[in-house]
Amino acid sequence: MTQPTMPNEYPELSDRVVFDGASPSEIVLSELRATAVDLDFSSDARRDHGRDWWPLTIGWVSKGSAPALPAVVARPKTTQDVSRLLAVAHEYSLPVTPQGGRSGVVGGAVPATGGVALDLTAMDAIISIDEVSLTVTVEAGCFGPDLENALNAKGFTVGHFPQSFALATVGGWLACRGAGQYSNRYGKIEDMVRGLTVVLADGSVITTGSRGPRSASGPDLNQLFVGSEGTLGVITQATLVIHHKPDYEARAAYSFASCEEGLEACRRIMQRGARPAVLRLYDEVESERSFTITRCALIVIDEGDPGLVDATMKIVEQECAVGQREDDAHVATWFEHRNNVSALAPLWSRDYVVDTIEIAAPWAALSSIHRRVVEALTTLPETMVASMHQSHAYQDGACLYFTFVAKPEGDLTAYYRAAWDAATAVVLAAGGALSHHHGVGRNRARFVREALGSGFDVLVDIKDTLDPHHIMNPGVLGIGGTSW
């Protein structure tokens, strides 16, 4: 698959760089060349790999500034290539930023400290499919559509469909601890992973898991690297659980007088044990914008065995009786437009600030967090609108996904930081999770110590042990360097 393009192009060549990282010496470059890994020193490649889908970088690019310039783009083809390159980087304390499709929206793939942009997309092989145990082993650079198409051809699916599906790689799913839109049915990426191959900062290669569905042989080392965002090692291969491709589906749409009423319906559905693949509740602003419904819309999809799906949809119908049934065509509207982010770059190029903030919290706190985050964002004088939808649900809580738009008269970055500060302060004070599925990257790095509390020091200790020279994505996750 051809690697997807970035959301906007540079209007003109410019020497302006937001994060100005150091360049390695000729001696280090000579050592890198000796690894026989494909290295690209061209200006176009370096500029292209100096960015991801972090909305702030989209704004910088629209003004001609490169978010960052790595000294070189490396394109390994094997785990051994990665091992040789990291061994050199470790010896010379050269920063390395692992990259897949660079579809992340929090700056985690921006090589702010220069060094090596490690493009893993040439490592895209589907190694094996176990049709009895229902697992697939795949290299980390494989894009989602390529994996899904190969599985579909044999009657299977991985069931992981993030909004960035066309842009993201398996390694990116894992590194950022991603969640797909059908996650209530299939689980999140941490539920799917059974084994990993990881290259550590010094070039050592380790394997984790891959000995069955579960193990009580100490802590699950898979989960040490899932969500580590390239700061503890480079994931080069993974074994994931797969499913038979479903041939039965049911859809329904409802609306409620308030978000609180809709959230209560979702809570009851989940706590009765139903797991509809999609259970998405929208506030009045987003319902009007997306479905021309003036109440709070709920979109429901389930797929799989007819007996399970019909039972699930019966529970949904019972628990949504307090609301009103809407035309099921609204579900098709959501399905057709669910991954459309085409307006993002044009808005930033016209000096609008647009972004999303996804968090997770217990059911008992969700309604309050909804009200208080929207209030915190709209209290900022330049905010035009702030809205919310609930996108992933559990027995004990759910993910709330906030969207805000502003047209600052002054510094866009200053407003952007203030908006994130205001919303995050509410979430952490209420006991919510800093991120549900977008990860931390650079954008949220300043909040991680508060979010993890005393556990943050343990994360720092792990970083120091696995990456003593802090070469792996320094600053991301708030560890190993300055974020931004």
pLDDT at 13: 62
Same domain, 38 and 98: yes
Domain boundary among 244, 264, 292: 244
Residue-by-residue DSSP string for 401-445: EEEEEE--SS-HHHHHHHHHHHHHHHHHHTT-BS-SSS--TTTTG
Phi, psi (deg, nearest 5) at residue 162: -70, 165
Please state, as a whole number, how many other Cβ atoms lie within 10 Å of the Cβ of residue 315. Answer: 17
Same domain, 421 and 462: no
Nearest to 402 by CA among 431, 375, 364: 375
| CATH number of the structural domain spanning residue 68 | 3.30.43.10
Q: How many CA atoms lie within 13 A of 60 on its CB side?
A: 23
Same domain, 56 and 35: yes
The CA distance from 312 to 322, in Å, is: 17
| CATH number of the structural domain spanning residue 378 | 3.30.300.330
Same domain, 333 and 357: no
Range of the structural domain that residue 295 is part of: 249-337
Full pLDDT tens readout for the chain, 484 residues: 556 789 999 887 667 999 999 889 999 999 999 999 999 999 999 999 999 999 999 999 999 999 999 999 999 999 999 999 999 999 999 999 999 999 999 999 999 999 999 999 999 999 999 999 999 999 999 999 999 999 999 999 999 999 999 999 999 999 999 999 999 999 999 999 999 999 999 999 999 998 999 999 999 999 999 999 999 999 999 999 999 999 999 999 999 999 999 999 999 999 999 999 999 999 999 999 999 999 999 999 999 999 999 999 999 999 999 999 999 999 999 999 999 999 999 999 999 999 999 999 999 999 999 999 999 999 999 999 999 999 999 999 999 999 999 999 989 999 999 999 999 999 999 999 999 999 999 999 999 999 999 999 999 999 999 999 999 999 999 999 999 9
Please state, in angstroms and as integers, the Cα–Cα distance from residue 310 to each residue in 21, 130, 181, 323, 347, following that order: 56, 29, 20, 20, 42
- b (16+ CB within 10 A) / e for 454-467: eebeebbeebeebb
Strand 96-99 to 126-130 pairing: unpaired
Contact 18, 68 (CB under 8 A): yes
Same domain, 24 and 115: yes
Nearest to 231 by CA among 439, 16, 446: 439
Q: And the tokens for 210? A: 């891959």
Edge to edge, the sheet with strand 96-99 lists 38-40, 72-75, 116-119, 96-99
| CATH number of the structural domain spanning residue 254 | 3.30.70.3450
The CA distance from 284 to 180, in Å, is: 24
Same domain, 232 and 172: yes
Same domain, 131 and 168: yes
Q: And the tokens for 1? A: 């698959």
Same domain, 108 and 194: no
> Is 368 contained in some domain?
yes
Same domain, 231 and 133: yes
| CATH number of the structural domain spanning residue 182 | 3.30.465.10
> Is 132 contained in some domain?
yes
Q: And the tokens for 26? A: 């000729």
> Is 63 contained in some domain?
yes
The CA distance from 257 to 324, in Å, is: 9
> Is 7 contained in some domain?
no
Contact 372, 339 (CB under 8 A): no
Same domain, 152 and 56: no
The CA distance from 118 to 98, in Å, is: 5
Helix pair 306-319, 259-271: axis angle to 10 deg: 140
Please state, as a whole number, how many other Cβ atoms lie within 10 Å of the Cβ of residue 355. Answer: 22
The CA distance from 484 to 474, in Å, is: 11
> Is 11 contained in some domain?
no
> Is 8 contained in some domain?
no
The CA distance from 103 to 11, in Å, is: 21
The CA distance from 183 to 276, in Å, is: 9
Please state, in angstroms and as integers, the Cα–Cα distance from residue 173 to each residue in 169, 287, 439, following that order: 6, 28, 10
Same domain, 391 and 326: no
Report pTM: 0.96
How long is the chain? 484
Domain boundary among 406, 425, 440: 440
> Is 205 contained in some domain?
yes
The CA distance from 401 to 461, in Å, is: 32
Same domain, 132 and 240: yes
Q: Is the dihedral of CA 158, 159, 163, 166 positive or negative?
A: positive
> Is 420 contained in some domain?
yes
Category of 431 on φ-ψ map: left (φ > 0), alpha (ψ -120 to 50) or beta: left
Strand partners, 129: 136
Task: Tally the domains of the chain.
Answer: 5
Domain boundary among 107, 122, 137: 122
